[in-house]
Structure 1
Amino acid sequence: MRSFDPVSLRLFIAVCEERNIANAAKREAIVPSAVSKRISQMEDEAGVQLLERGRRGVTVTAAGEALCRYARESLQLLDRMQAELGAFADGVQGHVRVFASKSAVAQVLPEDISLFAKRYRDVRVSLEEREIWEVVRGVEEGRADIGVCWDAVDLRGLKTFPYHRDQLAVVVHPDHPLAKRTSVSFEDTIDFEHVDIVARSIMQTMQRSVAAAAGKQMRYRIQVSTVDAAYRIVAAQLAVAIIPQEKASTIQQTLGLKVIPLSNDWAKRQFVVAVRDKGLSRPAQLLLESLKESMKQPRP
C-alpha cells in the first residue's frame, strides 16, 4: 500500500468532520468530484471501505475513523516540522491556529494577538470564533493549536493556563425597578423578561440552570444576534440583558443605560488558554507565552 499524500489526508479529514463531500469540498475550495475521486483512490489503496455514502451525506466506517485519527496526527507532525525548519532558516516562522469562544473574541484576545503579530511578523495566526464546545474539541483533535474559552466547560484533561477574567452584569433602562441597585443577584432578574443573544449557548444553559434551582423559568422576550442589538432592546425598555461589565460600561454614557454587576460567584468568569498536553510547535509556544505574559500587563 502506498503512503497517502498530505492533500488527500486533509481532504479526508474535512469529509469526516463535515459528514458531507460537497460541504468538505466547499471548505477546501475544490470541486466535489475531485474529493470523491481522491477518497475512492484511498479506499482502493487501503483495501477497505472508509466511508458509507448516502443521499444525505456520508458515514465514516471504523477503518475511516482510525485513518482520520492517524491523519490528524500526521498532519500535526508535518506542521510542527515545517515550523521548526522555518525557525532555523529565517528566524521564527509558521502558522498558529487559534479557536476562541465568542466572549473571548469580543474582549481582549484580538488585541493580545495583534501585539504578538507585530513582534513575530513571519508567524501567521488564524483566529476562528467557535462555540465553546468546538474550542475544546478543536484543540483536543489537533485542528487548533491553542484554544481560549470560559473555564465553565469540561476541558477534558487539556493543559490550561489562566487568562482574562471578567464580571457579568445586568444592563437595564434607567427607569427599570432594578436601576437604583449597586449590585444584584441573577435570581433577582429572572422575573423580568430577558434578551436572548444568539450563539451564547453555555450562558443560556447556566441561566436556565440557575432559574430552575430557584424554582423559576427564564422568559426571553426577543432574540438578537449581537450585543449591540441587545443594548437597543434594553434602551427601548423591552427587556434586560446579561453582558460582561467591562464591555457594557462603554454604553452607559452613549445610551444612558444602567450596568449593575451580578453578585453570583459564577458571574465572575475565568477564561483560560488551553493546549494539548503534547509538544507545541515553536510559533505556538511563543504565542502561548505571549498570552500568559499579557496577563501581567495592566489593562486600560
Structure 2
Amino acid sequence: MRYELTDLRLFLAIAQAKNLSTGACAVHITASSASYRLKNLEHALGTSLFVRNARGMELTPAGEAVLAHVRELFEGVERMHEDVGRFTSGLKGHVRLTANSSALNGFITPSLGRFLVLHPHVDADIEERQSETIPAAVLAREADIGIFAGETGVAGLDLHRYALDQLVIAVPPAHPLAREREIKLGAALDFEFVCMNRSSSNFLFLRDMAQKAGRQLRVRLHTHSFEAVLSLVEAGVGVALVPRSIIAIAPDARAITMLALAETWAARELNLVVRADARLPTFAKAFMQSLLDDSRVAVTREPPASE
C-alpha cells in the first residue's frame, strides 16, 4: 500500500470541491496528474472513493470513512508543524473558520484583519454557511472554529457566547413604513426586497422566515454585499433585512431608517464553537481568543445600563 501525503491532500481538496479539476488546482497540480494520483490512491486502498454524477464528484461510503481519517491526520500534521515552530519566533499555521453572513460581515472581518496583520505567518480559510449547518461542520472537522446564530443540539462541542445582534428592516426615510417604530415581518413582505446573493445565509434565512409566515418573498434583485444592499435601499430600490451591526459599521452615514422587528427570532445570539475534544494548536487558540476579546464584539455581550 503506497501513496503520498500529496495524494491525501488531493483527495481532501476534491472532496471539498466535489470537482477533480478544482481540487487539482487547489493543490497546484494538473487535472491529468490529479486523475492519475486519485486512481493510484484508490488502487492502494482497494476501493473507489468517489462516484461521478450530475452534481460532480460524490464520496462513496468508503470515501466518507477515509475523509474523517484524513481530516484527523492533517490536524496532527498541523500540530506537528506548530511544535517544530516553537523553536522559531512567532505564530505559524492555518486556521479554518465557518460562520453565518451576519457574524462574518458585522463582527468577524475586522477582528480577522487585525489578527492576520499581527501574525503574518498565520493563514485563514473563511467560509459562509447557514447557522444550522455550522455546529455539525465543526464536529466533522470541516472547520476549526464555527460562529452561528441560535442554539444547537449537536453534542461534543464547547460553546462560547460570542455576540448579541438584532435583525432589523432597513427602509429609505420616505418609505411608507418609515414612520413605524416596530413592525412584523409580514408588513415588510408587502414590499419588494433587496437581498444578498442567493447562496448567502442572510437571504436563505429571510426566505425561510417568509415561508414560515405563509408569505411570498418578492426579491427585486440580489447583490454581492451588505454595503451594496444598504446603498440600494438608500436609493429607494427596495427594503432589506439586515443585522443592526452592519449598519453600525457602514462607511458613512446613510439616509436609512431602521425598523425594529417584533419577532422573537430577530434577536440574534451568536455563539462560537469548537470541538470539545479538539487539541487546537496555539495559533488557532490565539485566533479564537482574539475573536472573543475584540472590544467591539465583547461590549454587545454586556447587559444594557439600567436607566
**TM-score, normalised via structure 1 length:** 0.83
Letter in structure 2 aligned against 1:44: H
| Mapped contact 2:51–2:57 kept (Cα < 8 A) | yes
Measured against aligned partners, the alpha-carbon deviations of 1:55-103 in whole angstroms (never above 9, x if no partner) come to 9844433333322221111111111121123125545433322233332
Mapped to 2, the partners of 1:53 and 1:257 lie a distance apart of 49
**Aligned residue among 124, 128, 131 for 1:130:** 128
Tell me the equivalent position of 1:39: 38
Alignment of 1:175-254 (within 5 A): 175-199=174-198, 201-249=200-248, 254=253
Instruction: Tell whether 2:294 aligns with 1:290.
Output: no
Mapped to 2, the partners of 1:211 and 1:57 lie a distance apart of 31
Tell me the equivalent position of 2:158: 159
| Mapped contact 2:21–2:31 kept (Cα < 8 A) | yes
| Mapped contact 1:167–1:245 kept (Cα < 8 A) | yes
Mapped to 1, the partners of 2:49 and 2:251 lie a distance apart of 57
Q: Given the superposition, is the C-alpha separation of residues 93 and 163 from structure 1 closer, same or farther in structure 2, using an over 3 Å criterion?
A: same
Kindly, what percent of the aligned residue pairs are identical?
29
After superposing the two structures, state which structure 1 stretch, 84-93 or 99-108, moved more.
84-93
| Mapped contact 1:102–1:129 kept (Cα < 8 A) | no
Measured against aligned partners, the alpha-carbon deviations of 1:195-223 in whole angstroms (never above 9, x if no partner) come to 23214654444434444454433222333
Letter in structure 1 aligned against 2:27: E
Letter in structure 2 aligned against 1:292: L
Q: Given the superposition, is the C-alpha separation of residues 268 and 39 from structure 1 closer, same or farther in structure 2, using an over 3 Å criterion?
A: same
Letter in structure 2 aligned against 1:96: V
| Mapped contact 2:206–2:241 kept (Cα < 8 A) | no
- For the residue of structure 2 that corresponds to 1:284, the secondary structure is helix
Q: Given the superposition, is the C-alpha separation of residues 32 and 258 from structure 1 closer, same or farther in structure 2, using an over 3 Å criterion?
A: same
Mapped to 2, the partners of 1:205 and 1:152 lie a distance apart of 18
**TM-score, normalised via structure 2 length:** 0.82
Letter in structure 2 aligned against 1:269: R
The gaps in structure 1 that reach 5 residues or longer are none
Letter in structure 2 aligned against 1:132: Q
| Mapped contact 1:123–1:283 kept (Cα < 8 A) | no
Instruction: Tell whether 2:292 aligns with 1:280.
Output: no
Letter in structure 2 aligned against 1:167: Q
Mapped to 2, the partners of 1:264 and 1:148 lie a distance apart of 22
| Mapped contact 1:98–1:145 kept (Cα < 8 A) | yes
Tell me the equivalent position of 1:18: 17
Offset at residue 163 of structure 1 (A): 0.9
Measured against aligned partners, the alpha-carbon deviations of 1:224-245 in whole angstroms (never above 9, x if no partner) come to 2322332343234332111122
Mapped to 1, the partners of 2:25 and 2:153 lie a distance apart of 31
Offset at residue 250 of structure 1 (A): 6.1
Tell me the equivalent position of 1:30: 29
Measured against aligned partners, the alpha-carbon deviations of 1:7-43 in whole angstroms (never above 9, x if no partner) come to 1111011222333322211222210111111122223
Offset at residue 109 of structure 1 (A): 1.3
After superposing the two structures, state which structure 1 stretch, 78-87 or 143-152, moved more.
143-152
The gaps in structure 2 that reach 5 residues or longer are 301-307
Q: Given the superposition, is the C-alpha separation of residues 213 and 150 from structure 1 closer, same or farther in structure 2, using an over 3 Å criterion?
A: closer
| Mapped contact 1:95–1:125 kept (Cα < 8 A) | yes
| Mapped contact 1:86–1:94 kept (Cα < 8 A) | no
After superposing the two structures, state which structure 1 stretch, 272-281 or 45-54, moved more.
45-54
- For the residue of structure 2 that corresponds to 1:269, the secondary structure is strand
Pairs aligned (count): 297
- For the residue of structure 1 that corresponds to 2:227, the secondary structure is helix
Q: Given the superposition, is the C-alpha separation of residues 282 and 56 from structure 1 closer, same or farther in structure 2, using an over 3 Å criterion?
A: closer
| Mapped contact 1:11–1:24 kept (Cα < 8 A) | yes
- For the residue of structure 1 that corresponds to 2:115, the secondary structure is helix
- For the residue of structure 2 that corresponds to 1:107, the secondary structure is helix
Alignment of 1:261-280 (within 5 A): 261-278=260-277, 279-280=279-280
Q: Given the superposition, is the C-alpha separation of residues 171 and 200 from structure 1 closer, same or farther in structure 2, using an over 3 Å criterion?
A: farther
